[in-house]
Chains A and B, each alone.
Chain A
Amino acid sequence: MNHAMNNTICGFFALLTLMVGTLTATPAQADEMSDLRDRFMERAPRLLQLRNAGTLGETFAGWVEPVKGAPEKAVADLVTAENNDRKALYALIAARQGIDAAVVAERNALRIFKSSADDHLLKTKDGTWVKKKDATIEG
Chain B
Amino acid sequence: MAVLNSPLLAADAESSIGRSFQYLPGLIRQQLAERFDVAAGGLIASVGDVAGSGSDTIRTRRATGYGWSKAMASLASETQAIAASPVTVGVDDITIGRQGLAFSESFQHAIQDDAMLKVDDLAGYMVDSYLATLRSLLCTTGATFATNSADPAATLDVNDWIALRADFEETAGFDGRAVAVLHPVQVAHLRSSIRSETALQYPESFELYQRMQAEAGFRFTFLGIDIYASQDVSLSGGDYYGFAYQPGAIAYAVGSTAQMGDLSDANPILVPEWGIVVTRKTDGQSATKRVDANAFVGVGKLDPTLFAQFLIRSNAT
* A, B: real partners: no
A positions within 8 Å CB-CB of B: none
B positions within 8 Å CB-CB of A: none
